[in-house]
Amino acid sequence: MKLTLTGVSHHRAPIELRERVALDLDACAALAERLDGEAVVLSTCNRTELYLVREDHAEELSVSTLTELAGDRGQELGAALYRLRDEAAALHLFRVAAGLDSLVPGEGEILGQVRSAFEAGSTGPFLDRLFRQALHAGRRVRMETAINESPASVPSAAAALAQQVFDDLSGRRVLVLGAGKMSEATARNLVSRGADVAVVANRTPAHGEELARRLAAQAVALDAVGAELERVDVVVSATSATGHVLSREAVAAALRARKGRPLLLVDLAVPRDLDPAINELDGCFLYDVDDLEAVVAETISGRRSEAARAERLVAEEADRFREWQAALDVVPTIASLRALAEEIRDSELARAGGRLSERERKHVESVTSQILAKLLHLPTIRMKEAAAAADGVVYADVVRHLFGLGEEERRR
């Protein structure tokens, strides 16, 4: 059986082409079913890939399927397609599951998408093993490296900092100052980690109300935020004001009512909205855009070094899969050899059966069974080792020739 992977991804295909071949999970399941044999369809916003296990015509089938999906953009598909087989295909899937093939290396969502694709696929022993090992590789990379722990943008860095202060963000209240894109992106990042945007304040009330509506929050006037400071945990500020929107004194006044609860303030505006002296207050942590960009730059460099470690882990897992796959080449020979040995043992026992008592027969059966097991143990191990070293087929041929395996069937 041969593993074939055919797909398009963000590396070579523009979004216009990727969206043509993108499928939801139900469609992936239906397509995998239609492709016959072992098949998994992985479709995310960055890629659509078909994993097939067939003896022949797998590639042609995959290409024609993707071309059909691409419709009138089918002619563009040729240049964007990649086709991989066996070890290369397995390694590719392991890298995908580990997030190493993603736009942002190490992103966490892909592992769940690979799992869903696997569960929706038509898998047999081969793809079952392949995808389970890919999921294991993905989990290993996330556990043993810090590749997915480092945010790659200012909004995600702000949200990660909030988690460093508050741990779980569920139920944490956020105050958003300003109704621009940056405030919204940061607020949404916090919401995605469990926080609630409680209040939005903006100089232009209509814009503030619009953002508040989108974030299911309450809109207030900018000069009313002092009272809100007592109740919120995170302040995100990105207004276009020319002076400080929040002074040290205003925050200090609110701290008395907060009873020691920490307050994270994220100032994304230039010029700055929040008085830098706020950071000196006990329990207040103020980050401006320069601080956040420095954190992001550091974490991105960390991602690169972690990616190198992750690649090594993925290569290890791919090697293990290759060994398993190679062993498959010799499994039929090993099975035939054992069947032949058992057949000989059974026939010899049958011939001697009349001359033995029940007790003797059981004893002889036990002894001959042990002899066979011991005799065949080493050749079995050696053949599997040879398979892992790519000599498996040669060894299997030699064993088949020496023991005449298959000749009996051919004579029949």
Partner 1 sequence: MAEFLVVPALLAYGEAAVAYAGELRGPGLAGRLATWGVRVGWLAQTALLIGQMVSADGFPWGTWAGALNLFVWLVVGAYLIWGCTPKYRLLGLTVMPFAAVLLALAWAGGGTTLDEGDRSGVVLAVHAVLMLAGFAGLTLAAGMAALYLWQERRLKRHERRVLRVRMPPLDALDRLAARTVLGSLVLLGIGIGVGASSFERGDFDAAMAVTLLILALYAGLLVLRHEGVRGRRAALLNLAGLALVAVVLPLTHFAG
Residue ranges in contact with partner 1 by CB under 8 A: 143-146, 149-151, 157, 160-161, 163-167, 258-262, 279, 282-283, 285, 287, 291, 294-295, 297-299, 302, 306, 309
The whole-angstrom separation of Cα 196 and Cα 186 is 12
Is the C-alpha dihedral spanning 31, 32, 36, 39 positive or negative?
Answer: positive
Q: Of 205 and 302, which CB lies nearer to partner 1 in the complex structure?
A: 302
Work out how close the CB of 261 gets to partner 1 at its nearest, in angstroms, rounded to a whole number: 7
Work out how close the CB of 296 gets to partner 1 at its nearest, in angstroms, rounded to a whole number: 9
Residue appearing with tokens 């619009």: 210
Q: Of 14 and 171, which CB lies nearer to partner 1 in the complex structure?
A: 171
Work out how close the CB of 224 gets to partner 1 at its nearest, in angstroms, rounded to a whole number: 24
Q: Of 120 and 161, which CB lies nearer to partner 1 in the complex structure?
A: 161
Q: What is the CA radius of gyration of the chain?
A: 31
Q: Is 28 a catalytic residue?
A: no
**Alpha carbons within 13 A on the beta-carbon side of 179:** 23
What single-letter amino acid sits at 57?
H
Residue pair 25/41 in contact by the 8 Å Cβ criterion? no
Work out how close the CB of 230 gets to partner 1 at its nearest, in angstroms, rounded to a whole number: 12
Backbone angles phi, psi at 147, to 5 degrees: -60, -35
Question: Edge to edge, what strands does the sheet with 82-85 contain?
Answer: 38-43, 47-54, 2-9, 82-85
Residue pair 186/315 in contact by the 8 Å Cβ criterion? no
The whole-angstrom separation of Cα 193 and Cα 215 is 14
Burial status of residue 196 (CB atoms within 10 A of its CB: 0-12, 13-18, 19 or more): middle
Q: Of 169 and 187, which CB lies nearer to partner 1 in the complex structure?
A: 169
Q: Of 38 and 291, which CB lies nearer to partner 1 in the complex structure?
A: 291
Work out how close the CB of 248 gets to partner 1 at its nearest, in angstroms, rounded to a whole number: 15
The whole-angstrom separation of Cα 138 and Cα 136 is 5
Catalytic residue among 15, 45, 227, 394: 45
Catalytically active residues are 45
